Structure formats: C-alpha cells, structure tokens
C-alpha cells in the first residue's frame, strides 16, 4: 500500500506476477481445462500448480 497511490502499485504487482503467469500457463496448456491453480511462495519464488478435480 502506498499512501499517495493507494493500492494501485499492489494491483500491478499481483497482475504481473500472478494473473499474467496463470494466463500464460493456460495458453501454454500447462493447466487442464477446469482445474484449480494453486499458488505457493517458497524461498522468495512463486510456484503455480494446476489440480484437476
């Protein structure tokens, strides 16, 4: 959060590192249709895993 800009910088970070990566993963067909994508953070690295139910 930035007092001057509000939550906009946080929104950009979420979009860049999470939303864009999930979209690219679907385009690369890394996640099956209808799956849930789980996000984890370990040692400063974001990981994505698709789970089909």
Mean pLDDT, contiguous 10-residue spans, the chain (53 residues): 82 93 95 93 95 88
Q: Is 18 exposed, middle or buried (0-12, 13-18, 19+ CB in 10 A)?
A: middle
What does the pLDDT read at residue 47? 96
Cross-strand pairs, 36? 51
48: β partners: 39
Q: Identify the pLDDT of residue 2.
A: 76
Picking from 35, 37, 10, 33, the residue whose alpha carbon sits closest to that of residue 22 is: 37
Q: What is the pLDDT of residue 53?
A: 81
């Amino acid at each position: 959060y930035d007092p001057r800009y509000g939550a906009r910088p946080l929104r950009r970070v979420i979009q860049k590192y999470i939303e864009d990566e999930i979209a690219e993963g679907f385009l690369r067909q890394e996640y099956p249709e209808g799956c849930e994508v789980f996000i984890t953070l370990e040692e400063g690295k974001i990981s994505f895993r698709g789970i089909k139910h």
